[in-house]
Structure 1
Amino acid sequence: MLLYVDAQYASPYAMSVFVGLKEKGIPFDMQTLDLGAGANRSADYAATSLTQRVPTLVDGDFRLSESSAITEYLDEVYSCTALYPDEPEAKARARQIQAWLRSDLLPIRQERTTEVLFYRPSDAPLSDVAQQAAQKLFKVAETLLSQDRAHLFDAWCIADVDLAVMLNRLVLNGDAVPGRLADYAKRQWERASVQAWVDLPRPPL
């Protein structure tokens, strides 16, 4: 199995699939692409990745891009260590959380890029629109993590990683985050599969 990721190991979406593979204990190799140089738009990669993005997973003759599609595929094909809850409503909620984090909260993603997570913090204050997005994030997260849950559901799932990434864009930058949510993000960040990604050797920016 082969996983294509970005050369900086900074894509939260590549990270999500990497963590999923680690959690399942599936052996895999990684191939990096220099997105800044447009390596993902090369003819060779276009023949491998339908959407010409990272991550892309190669499993035998099957090639699949888009992170949540990949983690869902892994869960359906490889039974070891579930990445999603078994119960249909909980599974649907986990997928909703993933889709929401990938499609909303753009001001946070713009002003607290993944450089904050893997390289250095930003010294620019959050704009008003980013602060509004942060308040929306906090409200949703507090609703999902009611009663001081350790995870979004009864057990860890891959959506915990995605939510922790979004929260840690703020936590690791020193922005104000409610204590309970900051503690949750810290616990998720300490997970061995997550730390395996955090500890990858990164080239300088």
Structure 2
Amino acid sequence: MASHSEDALRLYVDSQFCSPYAMSAFVALQEKKLPFELITLDLAAKKNHEKDFTEKSLTQRVPTLLHGDFSLSESSAITEYVDEVFEGPALYPKDAKQRARARQVQAWLRSDLMAIRVERNTQVIFYGKKFAPLSEAALAAAQNLFFVVETLLPVGQENLFGEWSIADTDMALMLHRLVQHHEAVPARLVEYAHHQWQRASVQQWLQQGRPVL
């Protein structure tokens, strides 16, 4: 773990390790092979609204990354910052158009598909929770999700943009909300989601100790 030097990295995440956005930031740091301190906050107890944290996080949300005396919240901002500032494996495609597309995917996953995010929250993935059948709105959102992935994912390829990018982790997590609840998902997309789940950085997040709900 990093010491609290002027260049130390600290990542604040939720204490249940359920936030898909915290996972994205965590995976980014792991992929860059950067030492960092992982700090958990109990969101149910509103610890993110206490003064100690609000002085660090502009939006009072997790994930929040501290790099020395600089703090940054919002996961895609964090992953872009980490990719630009630190050496190591790229988190985004090298080609400008594909890099823009990867960022588009991240923005879309964070702003759309609300019915899936509500009806299949990430407790499905991290706690094996079961919910009622999907609503018509969620089924329509699922078809939209499948269309986007099938359009972007070349046949026979394992990643959306050739080499792995952080957008693959984010996309796979959205798919796993359905896959792990045993919804009807096209086989090619199930294979893609399972492949992305095998990355060492993802497995490290999956293996975090989670409190009982």
Same-fold status (TM-score > 0.5): yes
Q: Secondary structure at the match of 1:155?
A: coil
**157, 169, 193: which one pairs with 2:165?**
157
Contact in 2 for aligned 1:56/1:66 (Cα 8 Å):
yes
**52, 60, 63: which one pairs with 1:55?**
63
Structure 2 gaps of 5+ residues are 1-8
Contact in 2 for aligned 1:23/1:81 (Cα 8 Å):
yes
- Per-residue CA shift, 1:75-105, capped at 9, x if unaligned? 1000211000111101000000000000000
**8, 12, 28: which one pairs with 1:20?**
28
Q: CA deviation at 1:109?
A: 0.4
Contact in 2 for aligned 1:121/1:172 (Cα 8 Å):
no
Corresponding residue for residue 198 of structure 1: 206
**CA distance in structure 1 between the aligned counterparts of 2:137 and 2:80, rounded to whole angstroms:** 33
More displaced stretch, 145-154 vs 54-63: 145-154
Counterpart AA for 1:76: E
- Pair 1:69 & 2:92 matched: no
Q: Secondary structure at the match of 1:5?
A: strand
Q: Secondary structure at the match of 1:121?
A: coil
Structure 1 gaps of 5+ residues are none
**CA distance in structure 2 between the aligned counterparts of 1:182 and 1:120, rounded to whole angstroms:** 17
Counterpart AA for 1:19: V
- Pair 1:134 & 2:142 matched: yes
**CA distance in structure 2 between the aligned counterparts of 1:168 and 1:96, rounded to whole angstroms:** 20
Scaled by the length of structure 2, the TM-score of the pair is: 0.95
- Pair 1:9 & 2:17 matched: yes
Counterpart AA for 1:185: A
**CA distance in structure 2 between the aligned counterparts of 1:128 and 1:190, rounded to whole angstroms:** 32
Counterpart AA for 2:66: V
Counterpart AA for 2:29: L
Contact in 2 for aligned 1:113/1:169 (Cα 8 Å):
yes
Q: CA deviation at 1:203?
A: 0.2
Contact in 1 for aligned 2:27/2:205 (Cα 8 Å):
yes
Q: CA deviation at 1:117?
A: 0.6
Counterpart AA for 1:121: K
Scaled by the length of structure 1, the TM-score of the pair is: 0.99
Corresponding residue for residue 174 of structure 1: 182
Q: CA RMSD in A?
A: 0.7
